Amino acid sequence: MWNVIKEPWPWYVAGPLIGLTVPVLLILGNKSFGISSSLRHICAACVPANINFFKYDWKKEAWNLFFVLGIFLGGMIAAHFLMNNEDIIVNPHLKEELAGYGITDYSNLVPVQLMNWGNLLTFKGFFLMVVGGFLVGFGTRYAGGCTSGHSIMGLSNLQWPSLVATICFMAGGFIVANLVLPLILSL
């Protein structure tokens, strides 16, 4: 039984389970699915600044903070108790390409050669972690939500802006993965 939990689930099982989160939240509590808004709720609760963006009744959205806490705790439990000790399976062609950039360790969810504390002090590491994180946060705010909010919740509600945002997320991902990332990795 533990092998079923430790292995990645196929898309036809995991996808519908994630997708069913939307109607469950709507039916049980008239709540919208999304993760990025939780940072706004945390800031509104913890930062008593006189900023209009944070002046709202964040307590009405406290459920979202518990939802995100559940995601965090579930990830921690899975990482510590359900981790598969085998290397991550990577396509052989991608392994060959990544080896050209010095990435050969597939024992973690992210390449250790790129994502580590020592690398944070290099130009490449700083660019990938800090600048990349800033761009994700900025894009999330600019788009009015993250990929989960738009692609799962927005599309299921047939919202035109969510379709546009999802198409832009995907196009941006393809461009960065195929054109920008190879330039950064070759630095």
Structural domain count of the chain? 2
144 shares its domain with 73: no
C-alpha–C-alpha distance, residues 42 and 145, integer Å: 16
C-alpha–C-alpha distance, residues 3 and 160, integer Å: 41
128 shares its domain with 50: no
Q: Is residue 97 part of a domain?
A: no
71 shares its domain with 130: no
User: How many percent of the chain have pLDDT more than 70?
Assistant: 99
Domain that holds residue 176: 114-187
| DSSP-assigned states of every residue in 14-70 | HHHHHHTHHHHHHHHH-----STHHHHHHHHHH-----GGG-S-GGGGHHHHHHHHH
Average pLDDT (3-14) is 81
Confidence grade of residue 1 (pLDDT, cut at 50, 70, 90): low
127 shares its domain with 59: no
Query: By C-alpha distance, which of 38, 182, 48 is closest to 102?
Result: 182
- Per-residue model confidence as pLDDT tens digits over 144-185: 888 878 888 888 888 999 999 999 999 999 999 999 989 988
78 shares its domain with 123: no
- DSSP for residue 158: T
Residue type at position 49:
A
Q: Is residue 104 part of a domain?
A: no
66 shares its domain with 134: no
70 shares its domain with 122: no
Q: Is residue 106 part of a domain?
A: no
Q: Is residue 143 part of a domain?
A: yes
Residue 44's pLDDT is: 85
Q: Is residue 182 part of a domain?
A: yes
98 token code pair: 């990544």
Q: Is residue 90 part of a domain?
A: no
Check: CB of residue 155 under 8 Å from CB of residue 137: no
2 shares its domain with 79: yes
Q: Is residue 92 part of a domain?
A: no
Kindly give, in sequence order, each residue whose CB lies less than 8 Å from that of residue 71, ignoring residues fewer than 6 positions away. 35
C-alpha–C-alpha distance, residues 43 and 53, integer Å: 10
- Per-residue model confidence as pLDDT tens digits over 39-87: 888 888 887 778 888 888 888 888 888 988 998 999 898 888 887 777 7
User: How many percent of the chain have pLDDT more than 90?
Assistant: 16
78 shares its domain with 124: no
| pTM greater than 0.75 (yes/no) | no
Q: Which one has a higher pLDDT value, 69 or 38?
A: 69
Residue 2's pLDDT is: 65
Q: Is residue 102 part of a domain?
A: no
